[in-house]
Amino acid sequence: MVVIMQPGVGESEISGVVEAIQSYGMDAHISRGKERTIIGIIGDERKVDFDSIASLTGVERAMPILKPYKYVARDVTTRDKIIEVGGVKIGQELVFVAGPCSVEEEDTTLRIAEEVKLAGAQFFRAGAYKPRTSPWSFQGLREKGLAILSKVREKTGLPIITEVIDAADINVVGEATDIYQVGMRNMRNYTLLAELGKTGKPVLLKRGDSAKIEEWLAAADYIYRNGNENIILCERGIRTFEDYTRNTLDLNAVAAARNESSLPVFVDPSHGTGRGELVRPMSLAAVAAGASGLLLEVHFDPQKAWSDGKQTVTPAVLKKIITDCRRVAGVA
Amino acid sequence: MVVIMQPGVGESEISGVVEAIQSYGMDAHISRGKERTIIGIIGDERKVDFDSIASLTGVERAMPILKPYKYVARDVTTRDKIIEVGGVKIGQELVFVAGPCSVEEEDTTLRIAEEVKLAGAQFFRAGAYKPRTSPWSFQGLREKGLAILSKVREKTGLPIITEVIDAADINVVGEATDIYQVGMRNMRNYTLLAELGKTGKPVLLKRGDSAKIEEWLAAADYIYRNGNENIILCERGIRTFEDYTRNTLDLNAVAAARNESSLPVFVDPSHGTGRGELVRPMSLAAVAAGASGLLLEVHFDPQKAWSDGKQTVTPAVLKKIITDCRRVAGVA
Amino acid sequence: MVVIMQPGVGESEISGVVEAIQSYGMDAHISRGKERTIIGIIGDERKVDFDSIASLTGVERAMPILKPYKYVARDVTTRDKIIEVGGVKIGQELVFVAGPCSVEEEDTTLRIAEEVKLAGAQFFRAGAYKPRTSPWSFQGLREKGLAILSKVREKTGLPIITEVIDAADINVVGEATDIYQVGMRNMRNYTLLAELGKTGKPVLLKRGDSAKIEEWLAAADYIYRNGNENIILCERGIRTFEDYTRNTLDLNAVAAARNESSLPVFVDPSHGTGRGELVRPMSLAAVAAGASGLLLEVHFDPQKAWSDGKQTVTPAVLKKIITDCRRVAGVA
Amino acid sequence: MVVIMQPGVGESEISGVVEAIQSYGMDAHISRGKERTIIGIIGDERKVDFDSIASLTGVERAMPILKPYKYVARDVTTRDKIIEVGGVKIGQELVFVAGPCSVEEEDTTLRIAEEVKLAGAQFFRAGAYKPRTSPWSFQGLREKGLAILSKVREKTGLPIITEVIDAADINVVGEATDIYQVGMRNMRNYTLLAELGKTGKPVLLKRGDSAKIEEWLAAADYIYRNGNENIILCERGIRTFEDYTRNTLDLNAVAAARNESSLPVFVDPSHGTGRGELVRPMSLAAVAAGASGLLLEVHFDPQKAWSDGKQTVTPAVLKKIITDCRRVAGVA
């Protein structure tokens, strides 16, 4: 941490800061400039309460130097993390996860799964638990949906990615899924993250729609430090003033997360745009920016999808996206 | 819902939309203009899947008319909701909730409680469970903190407001608190909201930092429809590009929530500004905008607070804020 | 500026930074911690190119200490700036500026002016030049509008505030106005600001809808350093994800600007909310937060206003706002 | 426009809205549902003042159907606009514009130009007029810079793109430049846009950092309707809460602008990221999303660039970017 003192402070304010730093068992380094005095902390500042230091008399600003995460940082684990699920090496080969927004009736869901498999998808996705803004909207088939997902896996052989929305559901969801999905609403549900950390099963962690990149990586650290290194990051758009698209897909964050951490980064262009016609160009752009995989909402009849029809594409479009993305990946 | 068709669509697209609407058991009303055809839905559109309609062939836009919430809407319950806790009529009299960010050691916590009571606060607040961005930061005293809160209530008679961060903790937290606080990170944790809806105990629902006003009210509806009408809304700032302040306190939302719903609205100017020197002016502004109560971080020695010291004020400042706010309330 | 070096950099990187700093004629101060080396600049860092330093080899981050403005800073001019126009002491007494969004036909405009004067407004406002998002919208009466404003001043004695949108129009607008308004779209039109700085006539500078508080004050510095100290800041809402209101009125910025600068700060709750029913509560809140004046859109028949009718209030509402705001100002 | 009436309004409110619509010479179409009455406008709603209608008694919401722009809309001009400058067909072939942020001393500037030409850039860019947040920062070499740009064109044959910041400078800048750049701060400087519309010379229009996609296209319409069809759109990042990157590069907007208009869309990944190490991946992503060209800050010694060194890449990196982008363009 760097503590910048106000202009003209006296020795008593300076020693107040030094003592506060020492009370955490750390050392301070004083640097007296003509205009300001600057105090640095020597040691791991993460133990120090940032706000308390910032509130000391005579302090103008206190700025952290260390990042709020440690384990998932690129400088700790330099090699790209590879996670193998059902024979697919996530983080090494380009991965396509496809399926409808919600689990639908068994025959529909199965038909979609077969068609996305044929189109080249390696994973099947569909939500059994659907967190929805309004309590008046469809909330998912829940347990019944999980049973359908298990059938899909059995019949198609596709491994499953589905969302878990509460720590109490981890076991029951775990029986149906190969990878837990944490949705953007739960990125800061630290109880859920910590409990998922204890399972060892891979977790796909979506970025919150108001989360900074650093906060997203810190959320991953909640999983990692509880013992689970199998984490996939997933960018799905942030909330901004732009309302032409459902969210603003932040591909800067993909390139940045690849630099800052060793984890694979997926992109969800369906939620990231909210518009079917933008899914293909943004899929290509995601791969060009460094994404290791894509989450795509696919349905053989998007207009009859139970939710998110507007951003859903057909298996035929999926096939074209997969072909083109593989070519782009060859360049990127 | 209003469905706006693309220019020049034919009868088949129009009847496609009409049939889709009818499949939900609703009626459609077609309005043919010179440039566009517009189709309205007759009935409660909340049953209709918005996205599916929007994805139909020939549809340019589909816009909801109804709000995503129902029970907490002002037009359903026209009279201001009054919630009585420990003799205080929330929603009727001006309420001040004060205390440190985190529960601290017992003697410190007790001393703060006594001082804020003396200054005029009617409720004591302090976090036992602290959701923190980084797993490396202090996470609260947890159960030990709850025990201290119970002592504070016993010794000072002040009712308690403290945060619950997971549905599994509702019972244990409920023994120590008079009002459950749902923090901004959990505003979209619908499992938690639904379970709190079953308790009957008042809930203070903080607005998420990326939540629209409508979404905040819809979150309140999750609590209400599970049987609990005792909901207090709390504005605590949204996340914007401005970084001089910790958040952007959105007082528009206070005036708006008062118009749109019958629930009392509190404001947290400590998190809403992140700067102690802005707490007093923004407290006055909050009351002027229509707030029914304030949540304030107070410590006899802000510089030694375990967290959020920078935005914490002293009991003396609290006293002045209470006096001045009561005068402003007389005007507003 | 504080330059934070990457962990483990060698002496050559450190001396590279030191030399770069010295090349601007400044001194560097090296502070070697266990984990990082930190280099401070001694002198006025505003002469140093921030980006070049940040791009030097081995640099992790470079953070400015000084603010991007100088003259308008509270520590330079500690006393509140008072600007006297037409006998009104702006910055000392509470000021109400009222009128329609656009200059309308002469008789309508005059009638509004007479009514707002009667209600207690000390200034008349109306736009002759209307910057509009779409070239297909009404762009204002322009020169004809200025002539009407001159008549209003002549007949009612009210001083005028109207917008200037281009440096080439400064003279012609100056003949009709007592205070130049710079709209939010032009806050970063530095040519306009610099030219207004040469006039000496007061300037009301609206904050840009994506401008940080510091950038707003730096824009004021463009006017000041060209010789014009008569600057009024005006908060009018920033652009965020919230779309219930037209903008998010940022009253934090009012309290902050009062602390950071000596200039009077006005608030425009009409644009800041975009909703007539929110204008009164947010006017009170603005004054409670420390505003020295308000800009209000007023029309005797808001439904017939040529623009912005939705956020316009009547003279009767204006009168009530003025009375209540004066009472709140007594507390704040 | 679609006008949604409040529930339970009577005939007088409905006829009030109808009369208001008719007063603009348009027709209204009434659609009475069970819960609401909806009124549509028949004709070109752009003549109607939206706000006035929205403020009529009994109106709950009024929503525009038509877009705020007309000429640049894809449905008006279906074929991609091709703009030929110096033998390069913008909108048809992939275009690379490169150079330093600011015009520097003549020999440095010339050397950069020669190196970017060698690397494959077809245009040279450098700012002579530099709009800067702080009046204390370097403001560009201005006229001297224009003279250097003319030399660069003469010696290298590269056509020039440079920024014009005020309508009064159009002629002098026009002598040195082949394409006018309008910076993000001036996207809403409608006087400047209108005057550029009268020149016929191509204009590169950067998106404002708080501009919605529709507003950006409406700004282009200001140029078009004044007679100049040679417009290049340029996405350069929007302002959000994320501060890891300088801006949030919104590639959704590139794909969207390609769908909604017929104009070529460029991307500036240098400003869009603010970080040299992200420039290459985001260049590829931009092309994958549909960009017709890139604006890149390039310097043979980024650490000595006069401004924006942190986001500047070397000619060698430029060359690699050009090669890889051409391959991605083959797929996209």
pLDDT tens for each residue of B218-269: 999 999 999 999 999 999 999 999 999 999 999 999 999 999 999 999 999 9
Do strands D59-63 and D203-206 pair parallel, antiparallel, or not at all (unpaired)? unpaired
**Is the pLDDT at B45 greater than 80, yes or no?**
no
Within 10 A of D105 (CB to CB), how many other CB atoms are there?
Answer: 12
Cα distances from D205 to residues A66, D96, D123, D232, D268, in angstroms, run 39, 16, 16, 6, 12
Please tell me the distance from the alpha carbon of residue A254 to that of residue A277, in angstroms, as a whole number: 22
Angstroms from C209 CA to nearest CA on chain D: 7
Chain C contact set for A29 (CB, 8 A): 31-33, 38
pLDDT band at A181 (very low <50, low <70, confident <90, very high): very high
Chain C contact set for B255 (CB, 8 A): 273, 278, 281-282, 285
**Is the pLDDT at C256 greater than 80, yes or no?**
yes
Q: For chain D, report the end-to-end CA distance as a whole number of angstroms.
A: 37
Give Cα A209 distance to the centre of its chain: 10
Do strands C2-5 and C265-267 pair parallel, antiparallel, or not at all (unpaired)? unpaired
**Is the pLDDT at C89 greater than 80, yes or no?**
yes
Q: Inter-chain contact A248–D249, Cβ cutoff 8 Å?
A: no
**Is the pLDDT at C50 greater than 80, yes or no?**
no
Chain D contact set for C314 (CB, 8 A): none
Taking residues A305-315, report their average pLDDT: 88
Facing residue for D166 by CB, picked from C54, C68, C191: C191
* Better-predicted residue by pLDDT, C75 or A182: A182
Query: Exposed/middle/buried for A78, CB within 10 Å: 0-12, 13-18, 19+?
Result: exposed
pLDDT band at D109 (very low <50, low <70, confident <90, very high): very high
Facing residue for A166 by CB, picked from B51, B185, B191: B191
Cβ neighbors of B204 (< 8 A, separation 6 or more) are B161, B179, B180, B181, B182, B232, B234, B266, B295
* Better-predicted residue by pLDDT, A330 or B306: A330
Facing residue for D243 by CB, picked from B38, B63, B243: B243
Angstroms from D219 CA to nearest CA on chain C: 7
Q: How many CB pairs under 8 A join C and D?
A: 147
Q: Inter-chain contact B287–C286, Cβ cutoff 8 Å?
A: no
**Is the pLDDT at B275 greater than 90, yes or no?**
yes
pLDDT number for residue D74 = 84
Q: C119-146 as b/e, with b when 16 or more CB fall inside 10 Å?
A: bbbbbbbbbbbbbbbbbbbebbbbeebb
**Across chain A, what does the average pLDDT equal?**
93
Facing residue for C31 by CB, picked from A31, A36, A43: A31
D204-246 pLDDT per residue, tens: 999 999 999 999 999 999 999 999 999 999 999 999 999 999 9
pLDDT number for residue C219 = 97
Chain C contact set for B254 (CB, 8 A): 281
Angstroms from D286 CA to nearest CA on chain C: 24
Chain A interface test: which of C38, C209, C245, C248 (most A C-beta within 10 Å): C38
DSSP conformational letter for C39: E
Q: Inter-chain contact C288–B290, Cβ cutoff 8 Å?
A: no
Cβ neighbors of A253 (< 8 A, separation 6 or more) are A207, A213, A216, A235, A238, D242, D244, D245
Chain D contact set for A282 (CB, 8 A): 251-252, 255, 289
Which residues of A fall below an 8 Å CB-CB distance to D? 210, 212-214, 238, 240-245, 248-256, 258-259, 272-273, 275, 277-278, 281-282, 284-290, 324, 327-328, 331-332
A123-152 pLDDT per residue, tens: 999 999 999 888 888 889 999 999 999 999
pLDDT number for residue C36 = 77
pLDDT-above-70 percentage for chain A: 98
pLDDT band at A315 (very low <50, low <70, confident <90, very high): very high
Whether D211 and B210 have beta carbons less than 8 Å apart is answered as: no
pLDDT number for residue A48 = 76
Q: Inter-chain contact C189–D189, Cβ cutoff 8 Å?
A: yes
The Cβ-side half-sphere exposure at A176, using a 13 Å CA radius, reads 27
pLDDT number for residue B190 = 96
Q: A285-294, C123-132, C175-184, D46-55 — which is least confidently predicted?
A: D46-55
**Is the pLDDT at C40 greater than 90, yes or no?**
no
Cβ neighbors of C86 (< 8 A, separation 6 or more) are C122, C123, C157, C158, C159, C178
pLDDT number for residue D113 = 98
Facing residue for A248 by CB, picked from D250, D327, D331: D250
Facing residue for B309 by CB, picked from A51, A69, A276: A51
Q: Inter-chain contact B282–C251, Cβ cutoff 8 Å?
A: yes
State yes or no: ipTM above 0.85: yes
Q: A73-87, C252-266, D158-172 — which is least confidently predicted?
A: A73-87
B96-120 pLDDT per residue, tens: 999 999 999 999 999 999 999 999 9
**Is the pLDDT at C209 greater than 80, yes or no?**
yes
**Across chain C, what does the average pLDDT equal?**
93
Cα distances from D114 to residues B147, C13, D268, D280, D321, in angstroms, run 73, 29, 21, 21, 17
Taking residues A173-185, report their average pLDDT: 98
Among residues C190, A25, A55, B297, which one has the least CA distance to residue D139?
C190
Taking residues B63-84, report their average pLDDT: 84
Cβ neighbors of A136 (< 8 A, separation 6 or more) are B46, B47, B68, B69, B70, B221
Which chains would you list as touching D if contact means 3+ CB atom pairs under 8 Å?
A, B, C
Please tell me the distance from the alpha carbon of residue D267 to that of residue D291, in angstroms, as a whole number: 6
What tokens does C265 get? 């700060």
Which chains would you list as touching B if contact means 3+ CB atom pairs under 8 Å?
A, C, D
**Is the pLDDT at B169 greater than 90, yes or no?**
yes
pLDDT-above-90 percentage for chain D: 72
Please tell me the distance from the alpha carbon of residue A65 to that of residue C37, in angstroms, as a whole number: 11
Chain D interface test: which of C310, C311, C313, C317 (most D C-beta within 10 Å): C310
**Is the pLDDT at C64 greater than 80, yes or no?**
no
Angstroms from A37 CA to nearest CA on chain C: 10
Angstroms from B229 CA to nearest CA on chain C: 24
Please tell me the distance from the alpha carbon of residue A269 to that of residue D202, in angstroms, as a whole number: 33
CA dihedral C112, C116, C117, C118 (to 10 degrees): 100
Facing residue for C63 by CB, picked from A7, A32, A63: A63
pLDDT-above-70 percentage for chain D: 98
pLDDT number for residue B51 = 72
Angstroms from B93 CA to nearest CA on chain D: 32
Chain D interface test: which of A251, A275, A277 (most D C-beta within 10 Å): A251
In terms of pTM, does the model score above 0.90?
A: yes
Facing residue for D40 by CB, picked from B38, B75, B243: B38
Which chains would you list as touching C if contact means 3+ CB atom pairs under 8 Å?
A, B, D
Chain A contact set for B215 (CB, 8 A): 133
pLDDT number for residue A51 = 72
Cα distances from A29 to residues A22, C64, C66, C198, D14, in angstroms, run 11, 19, 21, 47, 73
Q: Inter-chain contact B70–A136, Cβ cutoff 8 Å?
A: yes
Please tell me the distance from the alpha carbon of residue A285 to that of residue D252, in angstroms, as a whole number: 10
Q: Inter-chain contact B2–D7, Cβ cutoff 8 Å?
A: no
Facing residue for C46 by CB, picked from D49, D134, D185: D134
**Is the pLDDT at B300 greater than 90, yes or no?**
yes
Please tell me the distance from the alpha carbon of residue A160 to that of residue A153, in angstroms, as a whole number: 7
